[in-house]
Amino acid sequence: MRLGSLIESFLPWLGVVVVVLLGLALLRRSGVALVAVAAPVVAWVCLFGGLLLPEAQAGPRELVVVQHNVSDENRDPAGTARALARPEAGRRPDLIALQELVPSALPAYEKTLAAHYPHHAVRGTVGLWSRYPLSGARAVDVKPRGITESWRRALRAVVRTPHGDVAAYVAHLPSVRVRASGLASAWRDESAGLLGEAVGAERLRRAVLLGDLNGTVDDRGLAPLTSRLNVPERGFAFSFPAAFPVARIDQVMARSATVAHVRTLPATGSDHLPLAARIALH
């Protein structure tokens, strides 16, 4: 149980507290209070100010990706698939990563996405759809030792893009439970460690990770991943819960590439919001 992870998951919202304190200091016209508030203001800007900067122009060697936990209770998988594949600014996503794929809904995703995404791979409850050929698709073992039932929630495939091969990982890490004493995250942390080892052993220079990681990039439980991969440079993109998003627990990360911008897409039949991201390949 970790109280630190719980606080880290909501660090961006501390900016609201800082704004309130700054407002009170201005109302009281207190120089001492303004000086005291200056330190947390500077700290917040250093940590999160870059995420507020405008989206940079698209480059010539970019992938557009969509990440979505579609929910195993989604009543409209075909409608969800159409929404995720919808073109924006004249361009459809190059890759679509999905989690919580259940056998009854999988045919709807396959049929709806087939016209624009002729290549796909599914292992267990995670899948990857691609405009470009895929090869070497395989499951990645990220199952915690305490789980005894069948459990396949990560895959790896090579995407043969026009700019060279990219190793793509799709993952769904175990859920955490929020309690007064912190986050009950042992299984999530163990699974993140296994996934981090797999990414660290990846032989291809370029790699991307798309997934519901059940943690924010500020959560130290995801350090095995954030220490190896670049995280988004622009955009907060809070994705969960869909009804009132307070944290981005769905993630897009990359190696030998920059996640230039991440944003949420309109709600689907899931309790998560989809994410769209631009990845600039190095």
Q: Spell out the domain ranges in the chain.
A: 3-51, 54-281
pLDDT for position 126: 98
| Backbone φ, ψ for residue 221 (5° rounding) | -65, -20
The pTM (predicted TM-score) of the whole model is 0.85
Q: What is the pLDDT of residues 192-222, one digit of tens each?
A: 999 999 999 999 999 999 999 999 998 999 9
Task: Tell me which residue of 157, 241, 149 sits closest to 187, measured CA to CA.
Answer: 149
Q: What is the pLDDT of residues 22-39, one digit of tens each?
A: 566 566 666 665 565 566
pLDDT for position 5: 54
Find the mean pLDDT for residues 173-188.
Answer: 78
54-281 falls under which CATH superfamily? Endonuclease/exonuclease/phosphatase (3.60.10.10)
Find the mean pLDDT for residues 219-246.
Answer: 93
**61 Cβ contact partners less than 8 Å away, ≥ 6 residues apart:** 163, 280, 281
Q: Which amino acid is at 264?
A: T
pLDDT for position 46: 62
Contact 251, 46 (CB under 8 A): no
What DSSP character marks residue 204? S
pLDDT for position 68: 98
pLDDT for position 177: 77
pLDDT, mean over the chain: 87
